[in-house]
Amino acid sequence: MKIAVEKGQDKTLLADGRQHVTITDIEEGASEYKEIPFFAVRFENDEGYVSHRFYQSPAGMPAIISLFDEAGIPVQEGKELDTKQLIGKELTIEVGERSYTDPQSHNERTLKQAINFLVS
């Protein structure tokens, strides 16, 4: 079997702590359990990357608004946000881990994620 390695796939996960990053990719989808729409942001620098899902739900909106604000994209009530505007934006994030219980298997899972978005 031949396996193609695409650009950026040879990078490792970013170390925990503050990281200066660029948003290099956005993927859209829906959660496996409740079908809640999300977009996944790839934060990347020379040291590695981390991906983070932003869920389009009442509980997820503060994080989405914070991300757009820190990326310098105005957020206005009644206006739609375009995730494509995030590509290429630079900011500082804090990388850390979060644990949760998988609703289907009831096993504990740990994710590496981005938190505390700060403009660079």
The pLDDT tens digits along the chain (120 residues) read: 877 666 666 788 898 999 999 999 999 999 887 899 999 999 999 999 999 999 999 999 999 999 999 899 999 999 999 999 999 999 999 998 777 676 677 777 766 777 776 554
Structural domains of the chain ordered from first start: 17-119 (2.40.50)
Taking a C-beta distance cutoff of 8 angstroms, is the pair 93, 18 a contact?
A: yes
What's phi and psi for 86, nearest 5 deg?
Answer: -75, -25
pTM of the predicted model as reported, rounded to 2 decimal places: 0.79
**Per the structure block, which two tokens stand in for 109?**
């899972």
The residue among 45, 49, 58 whose CA lies nearest residue 90 is 45
